[in-house]
Amino acid sequence: MTTQLVTNKGKEKCDPSFAKEVMDKSHAHLERCYQCVACSSGCPSAYQMDYPPHQLLRMVQLGLKDRVLNSNTFWICLSCETCATRCPNNVEIVLVMDQLREMALKENRKDSTHLPLFHNTFLSMVKFGGKTYELGLIMFYMVKSGDLFKIKELPSLIKLGINMFTRGKLAILPPHIKGQANIKRIFELSEKTG
């Protein structure tokens, strides 16, 4: 049942089933979090997030679904696991971040950045090539986001591309790996099980 909660943002919709859904689907033990802030203190991306990881977890616990799914926190998360390593209660924070991304995509939540687009483009590359293909990723992302047509930024991007290529960081051809079909199958299974 949805209720209302008075927060520092005024009255907000509070849906307790949201916390349960996140926990059930992510298999993370959110109930163990006692807000010690160790995760956020070590997070290298917290300074760019709307809400640092510990706050986001608290908002999930409280069922503040709209605020959580409209935040940029889980898009900014690098999945570096620093938070999980520091957590005294072994809360699987990265699993929560993954789950929130999936939920936000399913609900078509709008993000002010192009991060969901980057996320989807990256996953498509891995699905079809078995691993990431940087040149394809950059080109697809830039065309879809419209960044390719920002003429002012083009010279610096070309320079960056040349630097990466000369250092062997940018392959011209897409990768070909053994077991590519297995990777595709993993994606298909995960799409089926939601």
Alpha-carbon gap, residue 165 to 171, rounded angstroms: 7
77 closest CA partner among 64, 89, 63, 95: 95
Q: Does 48 bind ligand SF4 (CB under 6 A)?
A: no
Q: Which of 22, 23, 28, 39 binds ligand SF4 (CB under 6 A)?
A: 39
Residue 34: what residue type? Answer: Y
Instruction: For ligand SF4, give the closer residue by CB, 18 or 51.
Output: 51
Alpha-carbon gap, residue 15 to 167, rounded angstroms: 50
Stretch 96-135: interaction string toward ligand SF4, x if CB under 6 A: -x--------------------------------------
Q: Which of 4, 48, 79, 182 binds ligand SF4 (CB under 6 A)?
A: 79
Instruction: For ligand SF4, give the closer residue by CB, 37 or 143.
Output: 37
Q: Which stretch binds ligand SF4 (CB under 6 A): 18-26, 36-44, 102-110, 125-133?
A: 36-44
Q: How many CB atoms lie under 10 A from the CB of residue 102? A: 14
Q: Does 14 bind ligand SF4 (CB under 6 A)?
A: no
Q: Which stretch binds ligand SF4 (CB under 6 A): 37-45, 101-109, 137-145, 160-168?
A: 37-45
DSSP per position, 100-169? HHHHHHHTT---SSSHHHHHHHHHHHHHHHSS--HHHHHHHHHHHHTGGG-GGGHHHHHHHHHHHHHTT-
Q: Does 87 bind ligand SF4 (CB under 6 A)?
A: yes
Token pair belonging to 166 = 């000369």
CA distances from 81 to 87, 149, 188 (A): 10, 35, 26
Q: Which residues bind ligand SF4 (CB under 6 A)?
A: 33-39, 43-45, 53-54, 57, 77-83, 86-89, 91, 93-94, 97
